[in-house]
Amino acid sequence: MGNIKVALCQLNFTVGDILGNTEKIIKAIEKGEKEECNFICFPELSITGYPPEDLLLRRKFIEDNLNALQKIRKNVKNSIVIVGFVNKKNNKVYNSAGIIYKGEIIGIYNKKILPNYGVFDEKRYFSKGREIGFFEINGIKFGVVICEDIWHKHGPYKKQIKNGAIYIFVLNASPYHYKKIKERERIIKEISLKYNIFLFYTNLVGGQDELLFDGQSLAVNNKGQVIKKGKPFEEEILIFSSEDKPIEIEEVNESEEIYKGLICGLRDYVYKNNFKKVVIGLSGGIDSALTATIAVDALGKENVIGIFMPSRFSSPQSYLDAKKLAKNLGIEFKIISIEKIFNSYLETLKDIFQDRPFDITEENIQARIRGNILMALSNKFGYLVLTTGNKSEMSVGYATLYGDMAGGFAVIKDLYKTMVYKIAKWRNSISPVIPENIFIKEPTAELKENQKDTDTLPPYEVLDSILKEYIENDKSYEEIVNIGFDENLIKKVLKMVDRNEYKRRQSPPGIKITPKAFGKDRRMPIINKYLKWNI
């Protein structure tokens, strides 16, 4: 078969930054050429960033991307470069790979299998390619496919192999969710072994709005053995030879992997949107504690500000826990009492409320005062407000619209409460920055006397189990009943999930971590009469 030297460029591209992305591609090509690589391969839509979404509806955007491809072409000498771009032909737009050699575009492959599920909308923008994607240069026979093409049972790589391809290059922008990596590796190794081919899988890395790309590019030999693997959530150019010896894949702790992903997603959202500092409302609870810790690890302690906003219902212990957390993290810590503002609200609304009893209205007023304070700091100092709600709370609406939901980015939005505790404990195993009392005390919103989350919700271990079945596994009420949960409890939880779609629709974006996140993954109508828990 012969030995070839390959560079897989696992890089972090920014959607719309065609100039910056192009410069990054050219620098990587220079490095690959210097290393005398036969092939230099980039991820899917490297020039435009992924996913460009409705930027693809702008003619100038596509033209600029095509001009960038020409600029890249001029910088290619002796290596075969495979780069992702947006192709346009006969008024049709394609998700494409350009194959460049000695300053010329010697071939183009247009993606055939366009995903249109979950977070993907490719059929909205792209036409289906017709090319086989087989190439031969200097006696090297190889195929090029793009992401979804490799997963389909009738994928184009099969025709490429029939034509004699020994090496298959896969350009990817494969969004992350936990437990996905092992499945990816398994499938790639099975294909390589079954068809006796070398499979080189280049994946994008970095955060783009809600989406997170993990990198972890793979090079697998024709015996189904991994010979090179990229790091998770880090830029890296993997340079290797096809005859390199197999490597052992280290088992990654799931909490560690998720935590690294959260750091990557937050850092990219902050810096790619030109923010420098973030502000967080510290309550003394586990959610704000984990959010602040992630922010410090992502941005540095000097760029994180914690605000404790007590009311008459805030316990002294909450203050002590928030203060100790801030001290452990080394972040700026400020106290802004909401009591005077709260009293002013109560006095202003006294006549119209007509002495009605204290209820959720007054609870939400407190949350909205806190949200207003954080947004005022954002406006005045240019901070990005990080909200601290988790997936369990977002699922059942245990959050205040325009209150604790007010902000620019929701870091742990896709973590169930049980996951929050698990990941926070893992982070504390590295260095114990989160005070132990935060782990052991009962969760509470502290918006009324002696309030506990369990006043409204079942224990989080039970709640999260029901939510996973309903949200991620799309189980019906009857199917969840058959699993063994209490019928009345199931009805209560499902009712809360369905009735709070309007809240989730207005929440800030957050990092996708689970297989089915709210937003692009799960698109339920707000007006919805198909409520089977109501039977």
Question: CA-CA distance, 370 to 338, in Å (whole number)?
Answer: 7
236-241 and 5-10 beta bridge pairing: antiparallel
Longest CA span, the chain: 87
Of the candidates 9, 37, 41, 147, the residue annotated as catalytic is: 147
Q: 341: Cβ–Cβ under 8 A, 6 or more apart, which residues?
A: 369
Of the candidates 37, 44, 446, 475, the residue annotated as catalytic is: 44
Cα dihedral 109/113/114/115 (nearest 10): -140
Does the annotation mark 111 as catalytic?
Answer: yes
Helices (H) and strands (E) in the chain, counts: 18, 19
**Crossing angle for the helix pair 360-381 and 339-353, nearest 10 degrees?**
130
Does the annotation mark 422 as catalytic?
Answer: no
Question: CA-CA distance, 112 to 29, in Å (whole number)?
Answer: 26
- How many other C-beta atoms are found inside a 10 Å radius of the C-beta of residue 529? 6
Of the candidates 5, 24, 111, 417, the residue annotated as catalytic is: 111
Q: 321: Cβ–Cβ under 8 A, 6 or more apart, which residues?
A: 284, 285, 289, 435, 437, 438, 441
Residue type, 419: M
- How many other C-beta atoms are found inside a 10 Å radius of the C-beta of residue 351? 8
Q: 182: Cβ–Cβ under 8 A, 6 or more apart, which residues?
A: none
DSSP conformation class of 522 = B
Q: What's CA 224's distance to the chain center, in Å?
A: 29
Question: CA-CA distance, 492 to 481, in Å (whole number)?
Answer: 12
Question: CA-CA distance, 96 to 111, in Å (whole number)?
Answer: 6
Report the candidate in 157, 236, 238, 233 with the shortest Cα–Cα distance to residue 190: 157
Question: CA-CA distance, 183 to 174, in Å (whole number)?
Answer: 12
Does the annotation mark 417 as catalytic?
Answer: no
3-state secondary structure labels for all residues of 214-249 = EECCEEECCCCCEEEECCECCCEEEEEECCCCCCCC
- Provide long-range contacts, Cβ within 8 A and 24+ apart, for 88-97: 88/62, 92/127, 93/56, 93/62, 93/125, 93/126, 93/127, 94/126, 94/127, 94/129, 95/44, 95/45, 95/122, 95/125, 95/126, 95/146, 96/129, 96/146, 97/144, 97/146, 97/171
Q: With 0-12 CB in 10 A as exposed, 13-18 as middle and 19+ as buried, what is 528?
A: exposed
Phi then psi for residue 12, to 5 deg, are -105, 105
205-208 and 211-214 beta bridge pairing: antiparallel
DSSP-derived secondary structure for 144-207 = EEETHHHHSTT-THHHHHHTT--EEEEEE--B--TTHHHHHHHHHHHHHHHHT-EEEEEE-EEE
Residues with a known catalytic role: 44, 111, 147
